[in-house]
Amino acid sequence: MKQSVGLYQEQSLRLAMTQELKQAITLLQYSTLEMVDFLKERSLENPLLELKMPATQRELASSRVQRLKPRKIGTTTSQTFSIENFSKHGETIQQYIEQQLVDSPLSHEERLVAKRVIHYMDPNGYIQEEPATIAGQLKTTTETIEHLLTHIKQLEPAGVGARDLQECLLLQLRRKELPNRNEMAEAILENDFTLFAEKAWKTLAKKYAISLKEIQGIHDEIVQLNPRPGNKYETTERPKYIIPDLVVQKHQKQFVVSLNEEIIPQITINKQNEAALKSKNELEPYLQEKLQQCQWIVKSMEHRKHTLVKVMEEILHAQQSFFFNGPAFLKPLTLKDIAIRLDIHESTVSRATKEKYVQTPYGLFELKYFFSQGLTGQYEEEKSTKQVQQLVEELVKNENKQKPLSDQQLTNILQKQYHITISRRTVAKYRDLLNIPSSSMRKRYD
């Protein structure tokens, strides 16, 4: 059987992703700082693109050398968006220790090596590398490194230079002066750290011939120590800033969504450069390309603004109980729900909510916070998983610490008092997500 060979014409429908569409999608998923960085890069390579940075962005640009830590997401914050909303510390842990080495009894050569040793310190203030490994890399002896590590561990803050958490806590306990020094606590941490961490207190009480109340007192003393002595200092990582992209404010009896214009650069076309380039005929194609790029960026920015506001307005509409009554009234909501309401793809909603933040009367929240699956109660009333987690957290907070609630007891309370049908395993899962220890670990022996 012969096969015919030839050219055939066929019609097909295919969606081609234009450069403009790609850019609009990319800008939508960028965080605020990523978007600003993108615009700055484009302005450097495009002589027609001119950016006017708002005051807030200029403040951030001049403060990038400082370590800024945002307040906990979801807590009440000031309505202002200034740098006052962040805490900072001006130096690294290495710099702070290096200053102390100046007046140390070490020799000049030892100080030089010590300055290199402290750069093995992680952001928590620990030096986890083996002394022999450090000695090999610094071309010195293991004995020298061990001697220098012993000296570093005597510096401030207490606990710095430790190899792990156990040594860090021990260093802090041993730094205390008599009669405040607790030798029993030191012995337990040094010899039975794992049992102590697992709260096997009955075993420890029997071994050390002390009461459970005394064990409780040792625990209360240890939890006051700092497990990460280097944590309050600057790190070498690029600092992360959290600036609200959107603002929800109450006007009379309604909530209104607005874009935080204070963080968005104004984009204009540099007319002077455009005129200069027009005078050179051979640059006409280059000029058209750059002009088109400017137009694409302006359109993409408008698309980003429009999408963010529309998505937040739909979130506001779906979560009215949250905005009127507080976080405890968060309802189940999915990305698909918003996508259907706006008649857009679910992936667009995902991009629009990725690393975007909104300032509300209840604090600063990531947009992803407003999405969670639902649980159906006894009376067909849906409650979000976040709402149930908040109930678990509240129940544990108010429990009798001498008789803490077990997971089964929490399950029973949720079913009887709040009409939420939920399994004990799910309660245990939520408790773990909230970093709440089990009932045996929460028990106090006062």
Q: Which tens digit of pLDDT belongs to each residue from 321-345?
A: 899 988 878 888 899 999 999 999 9
Residue corresponding to tokens 């030798």: 183
Residue 134 in contact with residue 174, Cβ under 8 Å?
no
Provide the CATH topology of domain 374-442.
Arc Repressor Mutant, subunit A (1.10.10)
Dist. CA 162–CA 37, nearest whole Å = 39
If you count DSSP H runs as helices and E runs as strands, how many of each does the chain have, helices first? 21, 10
Question: Per-residue pLDDT tens for 412-438?
Answer: 999 888 888 888 998 998 898 888 988
Where does the chain hold its CATH 1.10.10.60 domain(s)? 374-442
Dist. CA 35–CA 16, nearest whole Å = 25
Contacts of 231 (CB under 8 A, 6+ apart): 123, 124, 125
Q: Average of pLDDT values for 136-146?
A: 94
Strands (E), 372-431: 374-376, 382-384
Residues in the chain: 446
Across 80-89, 211-220, 414-423, which has the greatest mean pLDDT? 211-220
Across 31-40, 45-54, 175-184, 307-316, which has the greatest mean pLDDT? 307-316
Provide the 3-class DSSP secondary structure of residue 209. Answer: coil
Dist. CA 53–CA 63, nearest whole Å = 15
What pLDDT is attached to residue 8?
56
Question: Per-residue pLDDT tens for 190-202?
Answer: 999 999 988 898 9
Residue 106 in contact with residue 114, Cβ under 8 Å?
yes
Residue 305 in contact with residue 265, Cβ under 8 Å?
no
Q: Average of pLDDT values for 435-446?
A: 85
> Checking DSSP bridges between strand 69-70 and strand 86-87, what pairing results, if any?
antiparallel
Query: Residue 88: is its pLDDT beyond 50?
Result: no
